[in-house]
Amino acid sequence: MNMVDARDRGGPRQPLLTVEGLRKYFPLRNALGTVSAHVQAVDDISFTVAKGETLGVVGESGCGKSTTARLLMHLIERDAGSLLLDGDPVGSGGVSVRDLRRQVQMVFQDSYASLNPRHTAVAEIAFGLRVIGHRRAEAEAQARQTLRLVGLDPDQFAGRYPHEMSGGQRQRVNIARGLALNPRLLILDEAVSALDKSVQAQVLNLIEELKQRLNLTYLFISHDLNVVHYVSDRVLVMYLGKIVEIGPVDEIWRNAAHPYTRALFSSRLSMNPADRVVAPPLTGDPPSPVNPPSGCRFRTRCALAEPICAAVEPSLLAAGADAAHAAACHAVQAGSGHSLAGGMTHAA
């Protein structure tokens, strides 16, 4: 459709989105209303999203993946950090929040709650177009086209209200609403997680097809490793508000460096009754993000934990042969002081 995007400024090598030092602490108030503690939802994370790629984000509940998505959309204010959209800073003199949201859109998990129950499908999709100044007839004509794009026949679905559609159909409307403003980046936050398997596969195929047709870039958040593996080019693994590992999907699947990533992999269900999982890789639940452990946040559940892990927070450094692969773990970083790491400059 738009092979050369007029909005593309920095060329293909400049990341579409650059996130630097992003942080969000939510205050917890006691009965008197004074702030007693903070939930460290997202704590100083940095990453980029390249043009045309799908970056998968995985992690368990409370790891900050949804907070990250909401910070990127400016649905909540960040405490610290900067955001560059194709090289331009977002906020204060750069790209306005309004412009940001024309270029970055989001699809949520709950297909019902994220649609206005009083809007028909076509009204819902046309809403954003009306907001940016299109006439009603024009907006609705375009909305009907977008419906067709997501595989819903406008003659049949344009006038339907959310309760008159199935979960899969509603999620298609949500995707259509996200696409109506012709965004460059679509954030899919557990967008297929609530769907039945047969419908989930249809929507995943649609997401893939739309990406090719519209030159989209995706940030795909999910707790389902198999789904993330299926759609992503690169994967970002989060644990308690931190990035613990990032890299190309095949590289991470073959050579996961962080013990948490490896534990996530061995927690996957076998899909083979003859080869069942025999022992859980981790015990207990993730700790609370209110008072996360010192040093490495994973150390309380980690089999490799040593005193260095409590004392020093590991930084996200290159892990393995692929330069794009990085992990935040002392055990794989030469010279860290961890007994498994060795003292050489680079482990073979």
Partner 1 sequence: MPRETTGQARAGRIVEVQDLSVRFVTRDADISVVQDVSFTLDAGEVLCLLGESGSGKSVTMRSLLGLLPPTARVGGRVMVSGHEVTRMTERQLESVRGPVAAMVFQEPMTAFDPVFTIGTQIAETIVSHEGISYRVARARVLELLELVQIPSAARRLDAYPHELSGGLRQRAMIALALSCSPALLLADEPTTALDATVQIQILLLLRQLQRDLGMATIFVTHDIGVACEIADRVAIMYAGRFVETGPIDTLISHPAHPYTIGLLSSTVHESSRGRPLAPIQGGPPDLADLPGGCGFAPRCVARTALCDQVRPTLIPFSTTRAAACHHPALETAPA
Tell me the window of 17-25, 181-189, 200-208, 338-346 that interacts with partner 1 (CB under 8 A).
200-208
226 makes contact with partner 1 (CB under 8 A): yes
264 makes contact with partner 1 (CB under 8 A): yes
Q: Name which of 273, 259, 192, 202 is nearest 226 in CA terms.
A: 192
Provide the greatest CA pair distance for the chain: 68
User: Which residues face 49 on adjacent strands?
Assistant: 17
Q: Six-digit token pair at 93?
A: 């003199």
What is d(CA 33, CA 191) in angstroms, rounded to the nearest whole number?
35
Which of 116, 156, 166, 339 binds partner 1 (CB under 8 A)? It is 166
Neighbours of 244 (CB within 10 A): 26
| Three-state DSSP state, 181 | coil
**Following DSSP, what letter does each residue of 214-238 receive, concatenated?**
HT-EEEEE-S-HHHHHHH-SEEEEE
- Residue 135 CB-density burial (10 A; 0-12 exposed, 13-18 middle, 19+ buried): exposed
Nearer to partner 1, 201 or 312 (CB): 201
Tell me the window of 48-56, 114-122, 204-212, 302-310 that interacts with partner 1 (CB under 8 A).
204-212
- In angstroms, give the least distance from the CB of 286 to partner 1: 7
- In angstroms, give the least distance from the CB of 61 to partner 1: 6
311 makes contact with partner 1 (CB under 8 A): no
15 makes contact with partner 1 (CB under 8 A): no
244 makes contact with partner 1 (CB under 8 A): no
- In angstroms, give the least distance from the CB of 197 to partner 1: 5
Which of 205, 212, 291, 315 binds partner 1 (CB under 8 A)? It is 205
Which of 15, 286, 292, 320 binds partner 1 (CB under 8 A)? It is 286
Angle (deg, nearest 10), helices 121-131 and 167-180: 20
- Catalog residues that contact partner 1 under the rule CB under 8 A: 60-61, 166-169, 196-202, 204-205, 208, 223-227, 229-230, 249, 263-264, 267-274, 276-286
